[in-house]
Amino acid sequence: MKIDEDIRLYLTEKRAIIDAFPVQDVQAAAEMLFRTYDEGGIVYAMGNGGNAGTLDHAYCDFKHHPFVSEDKSQPLSTTVKRLTFVNLCGSAAELSGLVNDLGPDSMYSASIQPFATERDLVMAYSGSGNSPNVVRALEAAAKAGARTFAMTKGDGGRCRELADVCLVVPGTSRFPGQTGRNDNNFHFEDAMLSVNHMLVGLLKQRVSQEV
């Protein structure tokens, strides 16, 4: 296959995913986010590999973007309630310490179990839906009564069973690098950033209505 045909294949698959995207799950995630914000709860987010990098981007967006003026020239008044967003992937020191002491499967649950409450939202990202550290964290969140959102692909794995809302990115792929066990993973990671942007934009709209 020629390079231009591969590129068109990727874009064709992307359009099919967009057309079939589970909008109702994004809406449900937004509603949980709004409740967490209204109740003064905390958003905890986690993922592995490239997903952890995307969550660093999300941390910046969620913490700041909804709380600046429309022209980005100044922050909103300090009287406007902020959202507390905790990126569980954000500290190499913390993660390496938890892995060293408790093992990789408990690296996220150990950060959630002592702190999460029913006011909070735990967001989990796993391409397979079966990453042990993400699964254990969702189990810990459920025990704490926290709201849970997961995003995955394929059959959704264990995340689909555990999360209050599980967004499963639809489709399969023939594009190089995301076939076999890695099926649809590039599209999943693209969609993860898009969902985060949708949620941030919707939260900004919600905040602006209260200013």
- Give the global pTM: 0.95
Question: 123-140 pLDDT, tens per residue?
Answer: 999 999 999 999 999 999
Checking if the pLDDT of 183 tops 70, the result is: yes
Q: What is the pLDDT of residues 93-108, one digit of tens each?
A: 999 999 999 999 999 9
- The angle subtended at Cα 103 by Cα 99 and Cα 106, nearest 5°, is 95
Helix (H, G, I), strand (E, B) or coil at 174: coil
Report the pLDDT value the prediction gives residue 158, as an integer from 0 to 100. Answer: 97
What superfamily would CATH give domain 21-67+77-210? Glucose-6-phosphate isomerase like protein; domain 1 (3.40.50.10490)
1 pLDDT above the threshold of 80: no
